[in-house]
Structure 1
């Protein structure tokens, strides 16, 4: 097995290396995922969670490869397609050309890839974490909880799918405190907790007391310096009970469930599955305040609840802004 590759089956059956599914479980849909980062990373971790849930219900057989280098991506995806996997999932942001090339070579295989590009007929569908709506709400909370009126954002790359979340968060901050000062930084990595932590330390030294933790490592810095942090994609408040005040959660289950149903019905097409990440589809949500339930002022909670209802009712639209966010001084 390639040293950067790991396969797993989540159906209680053993798997021979190189096989896409156990022979005794072929009645279920065969699904493979190819991840360029660890399966526990924020973004792909949510995809992995949704696929595990479908496997636990007996709907699919699921295998995956993680930490797949860009140079190996095309080969790994092609191998899964050759093995007969009906649906292949992954993030193609840094390997877009390779993913689309394999999809063209296997037109009868369904591909559901995280991508900021367009769908590709007939079989390459795209999705992404459109969680800008709860991100806006967390921005409101961040502004209301900041004592210095300084809020910082530490993220991976300045690409559309990251920018839209940050811009929505900033818009939420500005609704509550139009004069709040915003610091923005990118670490140019999807997984470098030590670097993210050091960048966050710099912001804290500059007066920031609430940090948007788009990457792992930021919350650790906030915890050490006893300031607050806002979670992104996943809820880690159980690990940071005195630090994470709110989180914008991404639930990939609606996306995966829609794709699996389409494949089983023979109706899968190259389409944009982005809508399934919206709050109205339960693809995203504002996490419960948990340990901060009694620490967030009642007036602020009421204001956030009112805005959330407006979003769900379609009376307030959180704009999708893919431009690189700007710091304010």
Structure 2
């Protein structure tokens, strides 16, 4: 028998007191203890045909966020192109300091490692397992997520393209994998809905005889071969079709797009088309990536970056709610309904701080809105796809299109809970359109991003759609976070910029293509593209085989006049007999955002034998490029920035404005305290504008900007004297 202790009530009270005291002490110690870094596992390939995720982009994002303070992010990377992926997964999942792992790359790898990771209570986020079969297989596993949309959307988009292109017969080749099975299962219905007939379907293994497969396809006589295969199979299939003398085009799904394709096929890759996931163009991620690394992002770079965002945000939520299950924390993160926060390191760091403080921001990513339905294995509700063509040895992309309705918009105005606490100045950028126009707005963002990489400041972004909000804020002076410098782009902001500057004399305004307001806090930059367009006219007149050239402009507005007049004058100076036709997409500002209408006009000009077109239609230029690919035998000249990447074999040159340099210059002056009011004029003579001759055309035409430079400068001065007294 056990003796009964005396005074049980006192003992219970003392015990309770000790527990409470220890709890209070523990809480105090916890608050003072550094929680240490957020360690995130990464299981992705660094080399080989499947290396399309950009681990370097992942490392850049983590480093950029770390520079902004907050809890340190550490990536624990294991290269799955070397070693055993299961062993790598066992190692990372077995670590107590890693709760979230980004990867793997393929559905076959997912089958290998998902149990090893999720059954230990860890989260697994894949940026590139797109097969639809995964949704059902992992329906009950709330610890598996993916940041890429499922392939059902891609199948639909591919056959929409064929319908629009007038393709009636295709052969379908699919890998004998879960990825290929998705396309084999869904393609017949998508084809039937779009009036396309599948003349034959082949499921292949890497051990198959590809020459025999090519011969079979030849008997089916398709117009296009659709191949849902991986890069190695894509290369072998392309070679077999070429050897068989097939006239059918080859169209690859997203898994087939890889630098391996270009390196293996060389010139034989020219003309291959396909579809792949794309960053959301309105976020500017692709521009930032190109600035950071010198190349366009790889196919799954944006989705990989978004996996990092979800991991960082989930860790922040765990700090605020440590008892919450990991999967519940991630579900909470993607259901935010507060201030919208974007993908970039500044926005991401702010979002993480808000989450740690108990706020619930609406987070978006590089690939689009980070919104998920049930189950988590289904992937995001919407993403972006782009059609690509191999041209000039590179992947040339068309306009990205969303897989579902997406509300395009910039991140929210205010930063809560610590608005205005940064050490550097606050810079507001107001674009004419949201990013993604591949012209004026994108070039300005390039300069802003470049400045962010160089200087310490806080940026906020707006577009013309925010005009009423900005009017209200500037007129009332009701700033959550007051800007030191405001940059507005485009003639459409002239009246607004003047009113804002007059009402806020302590804020500096840097305006592009507007007016000299005569205010001590305003500087306006005018870029005169007459001389550069003059050179473009000379080049077009030299190129034309028909004696007919043209220009497709967004609208007959003042900012377009020097383009048109310079182009016409240069062409006539080279050959007075050349006919120049100018057509306008619209009558006002909206004409710069209508790619379909711009494409229609380009087709009409081609029917009139116009074989060189100057594109000055803003984001509508992508429609002109699409039309040029269809009609053939026509060359293009881009605007504002080097647009050769739109179609390397078609865009012979671009009339460039150094918008990125001007924006960088504006921010640098603010940082240095050297803001100067008045007007700056940038021309061909002082390097503010110029004609950039595309690679592939430079051997024949690079001489023109040199030989005709002085005549173009003289003509530009005459124009400015007459038009800009």
Query: Residue 474 of structure 2 contacts residue 503 of structure 2 at CA under 8 Å; is this kept in 1?
Result: no
- 2:457 corresponds to 1:60: yes
The 2-side partners of 1:38 and 1:230 are apart by 23
The 1-side partners of 2:474 and 2:453 are apart by 24
- 2:697 corresponds to 1:302: no
Residue 541 of structure 2 is matched in structure 1 by 143
Query: Of 234, 254, 257, which aligns to 2:641?
Result: 234
The 2-side partners of 1:70 and 1:318 are apart by 35
- 2:606 corresponds to 1:204: yes
Indicate the SS of the match to 1:40: coil
Q: What are the Cα deviations for residues 62-90 of structure 1, in whole angstroms up to 9, with x where unaligned?
A: 22123515544523666998222111112
The 1-side partners of 2:478 and 2:563 are apart by 33
Distance 1:81 1:175, change over 3 A: farther
Distance 1:60 1:287, change over 3 A: farther
Q: How does 1:3-14 map to 2 (within 5 A)?
A: 11=346, 14=349
- 2:485 corresponds to 1:84: no
The 2-side partners of 1:150 and 1:205 are apart by 11
Is the deviation greater in 86-95 or in 20-29? 20-29
Distance 1:81 1:161, change over 3 A: farther
Segments of 5+ residues of structure 1 without an aligned counterpart are 325-329
- 2:694 corresponds to 1:292: no
TM-score, scaled relative to structure 2: 0.40
Q: How does 1:119-268 map to 2 (within 5 A)?
A: 119-188=517-586, 189-215=591-617, 216=621, 217-226=623-632, 227-268=634-675
The 1-side partners of 2:530 and 2:471 are apart by 31
1:126 Cα offset (Å): 1.6
Q: What are the Cα deviations for residues 191-214 of structure 1, in whole angstroms up to 9, with x where unaligned?
A: 111111111111111111111111
**Number of residues paired by the alignment?**
314
Q: How does 1:11-50 map to 2 (within 5 A)?
A: 11=346, 14-15=349-350, 17-19=412-414, 26-41=422-437, 42-50=439-447
Distance 1:25 1:319, change over 3 A: farther
Q: How does 1:317-328 map to 2 (within 5 A)?
A: 317=716, 319-320=718-719
The 1-side partners of 2:606 and 2:473 are apart by 42
TM-score, scaled relative to structure 1: 0.82
Query: Residue 487 of structure 2 contacts residue 509 of structure 2 at CA under 8 Å; is this kept in 1?
Result: yes
Distance 1:84 1:163, change over 3 A: same
Query: Residue 445 of structure 2 contacts residue 660 of structure 2 at CA under 8 Å; is this kept in 1?
Result: no
The 2-side partners of 1:204 and 1:98 are apart by 40
Q: What are the Cα deviations for residues 22-76 of structure 1, in whole angstroms up to 9, with x where unaligned?
A: 7697232321112241222211221111111111112433221235155445236
Residue 327 of structure 1 is matched in structure 2 by none
The 2-side partners of 1:44 and 1:146 are apart by 31
Query: Residue 152 of structure 1 contacts residue 212 of structure 1 at CA under 8 Å; is this kept in 2?
Result: yes
The 2-side partners of 1:185 and 1:321 are apart by 23
Query: Residue 230 of structure 1 contacts residue 245 of structure 1 at CA under 8 Å; is this kept in 2?
Result: yes
Is the deviation greater in 264-273 or in 17-26? 17-26
Query: Residue 249 of structure 1 contacts residue 285 of structure 1 at CA under 8 Å; is this kept in 2?
Result: yes
The 2-side partners of 1:105 and 1:208 are apart by 50
Residue 495 of structure 2 is matched in structure 1 by 97
The 2-side partners of 1:196 and 1:60 are apart by 38
1:166 Cα offset (Å): 1.4
The 2-side partners of 1:120 and 1:163 are apart by 24
The 2-side partners of 1:107 and 1:81 are apart by 15
Segments of 5+ residues of structure 2 without an aligned counterpart are 1-335, 352-411
Distance 1:80 1:159, change over 3 A: farther
The 1-side partners of 2:341 and 2:462 are apart by 5
The 1-side partners of 2:498 and 2:714 are apart by 38
The 1-side partners of 2:478 and 2:442 are apart by 22
Indicate the SS of the match to 1:89: strand
Distance 1:32 1:174, change over 3 A: same
1:223 Cα offset (Å): 2.3
Query: Residue 526 of structure 2 contacts residue 679 of structure 2 at CA under 8 Å; is this kept in 1?
Result: no
The 1-side partners of 2:610 and 2:722 are apart by 23
Indicate the SS of the match to 1:282: coil
Query: Residue 164 of structure 1 contacts residue 321 of structure 1 at CA under 8 Å; is this kept in 2?
Result: no
Tell me which structure has the larger Cα radius of gyration: 2
Query: Residue 213 of structure 1 contacts residue 232 of structure 1 at CA under 8 Å; is this kept in 2?
Result: yes
Q: CA RMSD in A?
A: 3.3
The 1-side partners of 2:492 and 2:420 are apart by 36
The 2-side partners of 1:210 and 1:253 are apart by 27
1:118 Cα offset (Å): 2.5
The 2-side partners of 1:261 and 1:37 are apart by 24
Query: Residue 249 of structure 1 contacts residue 287 of structure 1 at CA under 8 Å; is this kept in 2?
Result: yes
